[in-house]
Amino acid sequence: MAGKTRNTLIVQARRKTEELAAKRREREATLQSLATDYHAATMMAEAGVEEAERQAAELIATAKKNAAAAMDDAKETVRKMLDTGETRQGIAELLDVSVSYVRSIDVASPKKAKAGTATDAPDAQDSEESGSAGVVSGHEGSDH
């Protein structure tokens, strides 16, 4: 009877070991599946951030391009104001910018030959500017 008891105990021990091993395999499979879910979620999060950063960079590039075009339009408007014969000082005061900013646009613009006024206009503007510090009040050192 001792032999049967020993054999019975061995069989029961094997069953218990197999049950525990099966539970462990099941737990490991569950953990592996959850680890896969975790890695998938973090990869999705990273991909989402990367896509948002790409879109943001694209938006910023477009905004800078649009801003440059708008600034070109603004400078063209200053050139048109200069073409009316208004002084740099007067334009600077009207636009609330420095005279040096208006001057930089005037100097950078291609000179168009005007009949009889090409040599007179710069002297008149220069003489009006010589009495000022070249900056509109509140904009010292600012070229906007």
| Residues 38-79 pLDDT 10s | 999 999 999 999 999 999 999 999 999 999 999 999 999 999
Q: Over the stretch 100-139, which tens digit does the pLDDT of each residue have?
A: 999 999 998 776 544 444 444 444 444 444 444 444 444 4
Q: Establish if 75 belongs to a structural domain.
A: no
Same domain, 62 and 92: no
Structure confidence at residue 122 (pLDDT): 45
Domain extent, residue 128, equals 85-144
Q: Establish if 144 belongs to a structural domain.
A: yes
* Number of structural domains in the chain: 2
CA distance 96 to 61: 28
Same domain, 7 and 49: yes
Is the distance from CB of 105 to CB of 79 less than 8 angstroms? yes
Is the distance from CB of 106 to CB of 88 less than 8 angstroms? yes
C-alpha distance from residue 53 to each of 45, 57, 65, 66, 70 (Å): 12, 6, 18, 20, 25
Structure confidence at residue 109 (pLDDT): 77
pTM, two decimal places: 0.52
Structure confidence at residue 2 (pLDDT): 52
Same domain, 65 and 111: no
Q: Over the stretch 87-99, which tens digit does the pLDDT of each residue have?
A: 999 999 999 999 9
Structure confidence at residue 40 (pLDDT): 98
